[in-house]
Amino acid sequence: MTVAQEPSALQFECETGNYHTFCPISCVAWLYQKIEDSFFLVIGTKTCGYFLQNAMGVMIFAEPRYAMAELEEGDISAQLNDYEELKRLCLQIKRDRNPSVIVWIGTCTTEIIKMDLEGLAPKLEAELGIPIVTARANGLDYAFTQGEDTVLASMVHKCPEGVKQEEEKEERNAIQKLMAFGRKKEDVKAEQAEYATHPPLVLFGSLPDPVVTNLTLELKKQGIQVSGWLPSKRYTELPVIQEGYYVAGVNPFLSRTATTFMRRRKCKLIGAPFPIGPDGTRAWIEKICSVFNIEPKGLAEREAQIWESLEDYVKLIRGKSVFFMGDNLLEISLARFLIRCGMSCPEIGIPYMDKRYQAAELALLEKTCQEMGVPLPTIVEKPDNYNQIQRIYELKPDLVITGMAHANPLEARGINTKWSVEFTFAQIHGFTNARDILELATRPLRRNNNLKDLGWEKLVKESAKV
């Protein structure tokens, strides 16, 4: 491996924050699907509602378990009583849907008019007999996936502290129950013996159920037992959290949740790279093992085997360059994986960079660059899309990972793009799903390879500027 001549540490910059991303309330779209007995009530304006309806497209037609509490002029000027209004709507929700939890999503408007959702919730909760979780997922403070972070951080408070009886514990532990399904008690006990002795581990981050099972089993192979996930499939199955438990994140945008676990519930955070890509997955497992003093088994072979199976995709992107405009906070992990695939990456845009929570991921990124002999990327926090587009024109990257606002215009100018939001909804975690990431990342290149002899790259008449 050649050592790069470039600066030996990552460069961090911060621009103007004039960039395009989704509003964090979009998290309801995947969280209501994940938490099956929940109902999400977004307390905001027509602007919020129109965003959900348009950005989340057809999902809305499937009678979703979310709705807008649309604020009217009377609500803004406090002619109407917030408490009474919310009570009326929540009663209706209770009657129509009977959820196990109502999640209130605070928005920019509730922030500005200082509606005290956190204060109202416990009172209404007592009156209605339904737990109410409040999350301030607003565009004043957060970007896109950080919405999930605010919801999960609020849910940490709702996780039970202890269990009186073993039964109840089993009741709560969905994964364990799932894996013990249809087996005798003795078998379950025998299975317990397959695990090493280690303090309870709870994982956090919302992932599709197949991915949850996949990562859980991956840890099981190392003798590590997952005591619970936040969020679980149902609100009623939230994991038990006690002082001294270990927690590990599966996604890079969950820094508030991590902080809440540490500060409010006295848990120990395992700071690891995220299980995205075979390299990330291996590092994630290794870090968890090392914390529990377990010698990881067979990981190197497993990783090598995955890389081998990826070769057909990897050869399409090896030696090419990728530019992240930044909008969902997955950027560092994805860039690290793509660099390991042999790409170079001049710039990683990212809405918000928590250097503590992502420390291990950043270290792995640095190491990966050195091992692959590519220059360290510049990490641009709160990017400025206009400036980025000028840089894209200069650098001419082979692939730009960007939001939909810029994707078509860049394609029309002969620049390959991948829509970044797809990475949020696709299954990208663990060894098994590495192929899906590359399926996404190489799609524009494969498509444009098919069209390359047609002379149709640039489809706009050149006017000097953007």
Partner 1 sequence: MKLAYWMYAGPAHIGTLRIASSFKNVHAIMHAPLGDDYFNVMRSMLERERNFTPVTASVVDRNVLARGSQEKVVENIVRKDQEENPDLIVLTPTCTSSILQEDLQNFVERAQMDAQGDVMLADVNHYRFNELQAADRTLGQIVQYYIEKARKKGDLPESKTEKPSVNIIGVTTLGFHNQHDCTELKRLMKDLGIEVNEVFPEGASVNNLKNLPRAWFNLVPYREIGLTAARYLEQEFAMPYIDITPMGVVETARCIRKIQQIINAQGADVDYEEFINEQTLYVSQAAWFSRSIDCQNLTGKKAVVFGDNTHAAALTKVLAREMGIHVVLAGTYCKYDADWFREQVSEYCDEILISDDNAEIGNAIARLEPSAIFGTQMERHVGKRLDIPCGVIAAPIHIQNFPIGYKPFCGYEGTNQIADLVYNSFTLGMEDHLLEIFGGHDTKEVITKSVSANSDLNWNKEAQGELNKIPGFVRGKVKRNTEKFARERGMNEITLEVMYAAKEAVGA
Segment interacting with partner 1, rule: CB under 8 A, options 135-143, 278-286, 315-323, 330-338: 135-143
Say if residues 115 and 82 touch (Cβ distance below 8 Å).
Answer: yes
Which positions ≥6 away from 224 have C-beta within 8 Å? 195, 196, 198, 201, 288, 289, 292, 294
Tokens coding 331: 């950027």
Question: In b/e form, how buried is each residue of 88-109, taking b as 16+ CB within 10 angstroms?
Answer: ebbeebeeeeebebbbbbbbbb
What's the Rg (C-alpha) of the chain?
23
**Applying CB under 8 A, does 349 fall inside the site for partner 1?**
no
Q: Which of 31, 32, 40, 45 binds partner 1 (CB under 8 A)?
A: 45
Q: Which of 15, 70, 286, 457 binds partner 1 (CB under 8 A)?
A: 70
CB of 30 to partner 1, least distance (A): 16
Tokens coding 259: 């902080």
Segment interacting with partner 1, rule: CB under 8 A, options 42-50, 220-228, 284-292, 366-374: 42-50
Q: Which of 265, 340, 406, 429 binds partner 1 (CB under 8 A)?
A: 406
Residue 335 phi, psi (nearest 5): -65, -45
Q: Which is nearer to partner 1, 37 or 111 (CB)?
A: 111
**Applying CB under 8 A, does 56 fall inside the site for partner 1?**
no
Q: Which of 27, 153, 175, 407 binds partner 1 (CB under 8 A)?
A: 407
CB of 11 to partner 1, least distance (A): 24
**Applying CB under 8 A, does 436 fall inside the site for partner 1?**
no
**Applying CB under 8 A, does 20 fall inside the site for partner 1?**
yes
Q: Which of 78, 112, 126, 262 binds partner 1 (CB under 8 A)?
A: 112
Contact residues: partner 1, CB under 8 A: 17-18, 20-25, 43, 45-47, 49-51, 53-55, 57, 60-61, 64, 66-73, 75-76, 80, 85-86, 88-89, 92-93, 108-109, 111-113, 138-144, 386, 389, 403-409, 412, 459-460, 465-466
